[in-house]
Amino acid sequence: MAVMTMIEALNSALDTVMARDPKVLTFGEDVGYFGGVFRVTENLQKKYGAQRCFDTPINETGIAGVAIGMAVYGLRPVIEIQFADYMYPAYDQLVSEAARIRHRSAGDFAVPLTVRMPYGGGIFGGQTHSQSPEALFTHVSGLKTVVPSTPYDAKGLLIAAIEDDDPVIFLEPKRVYNGPFDGRRDAPIQPWTKHPASEVPEEYFSIPLGKASIAREGEACTVLAYGTMVHVALAAAEDAGIDAEVIDLRTLIPVDIEAIVASVAKTGRCVIVHEATRTSGYGAELAALVQEHCFYHLEAPIARVTGYDTPYPHALEWEYFPNPPRIGAAMRAVMEA
């Protein structure tokens, strides 16, 4: 075991799979020589050469298209879209090609492609560096979507994603890149500031996609969250003094419906938290699933705590974010209903 930040854990995952499998390669803007803008690919070009870790032009469509061709040919590319906000030019390639090739070819071809994207807010990145577009991917049949919240999960899930034979969207919450925080606004926000990190195995291990984890056990209500919002939900439960069970979904598609049902059946109440905008957000899908599977267990309406339906603000970032007071109020509301 070694103490790692999420950045270090992701780097360790890439190093581990590239050492085990010569078909794995990684590329993107500034990924090679510079080691990525967040240093996730640091030293990989030195270790594995410029044919397996290299830089590309500023062309997300081209990055995705080339990677899809490599994957169909039998390689296992891991591409980095420098910020999730930059993925829109590549969206057509991911949706129209990567997600459909297995079905369009009747199973003759697969696309073992992993698309890494730093995503979400919390570092004052502004409108074009802070978006949370997970719902755009979870809507697409043929894509899997993963969002880790801890360094340990980041390494295990990234290895599983790379080894998966279908395309995986791997969203990395920038707010916890350098270690966990206490979920509150007054915590340090600079992405380059070191926070307490987690113990992560240095050797190979993987976490199966589609398996949630219980971040906090409780009996009073269930809170469904992922990524940065797991930490905020934990802070909210502590501040509100409510015996809430916090479920870290980890994988959005496929989602661990068994874990969700088991928790909501136990508590009878459900609060859903995500930082993306509310309308048509992934929380709406979660609410529908809870309604369909847990209707007779529910003691109160399902509550959602989300980002607002506005363009992402800069100076007012922490007012936009779901925060412990907002989540605490939602928990109290479902408890009192």
CA torsion sign for 308, 276, 31, 248 is positive
Active site annotation includes 129 = yes
Which residue's entry shows tokens 């661990």? 256
Closest C-alpha to 260, from 234, 233, 298, 228: 298
Which of these is catalytic: 129, 139, 274, 293? 129
**Phi then psi for 231, rounded to 5 degrees?**
-65, -40
Long-range contact pairs involving 237-243 (C-beta distance under 8 Å, separation at least 24): 237/328, 237/331, 239/324, 239/325, 239/328, 240/324, 240/327, 240/328, 240/331, 240/332, 242/218, 242/328, 242/331, 242/332, 242/335, 243/218, 243/219
Describe the crossing of helices 324-336 and 228-240 by its angle, rounded to 10 degrees: 60
Contact yes or no for 317/288 (Cβ under 8 A): no
- What distance in Å separates the CA atoms of residue 223 and residue 248, rounded to the nearest whole number? 9
Contact yes or no for 243/234 (Cβ under 8 A): no
Which residue's entry shows tokens 């073992």? 112
- What distance in Å separates the CA atoms of residue 171 and residue 282, rounded to the nearest whole number? 14
Contact yes or no for 236/327 (Cβ under 8 A): yes
Catalytic center residues = 129
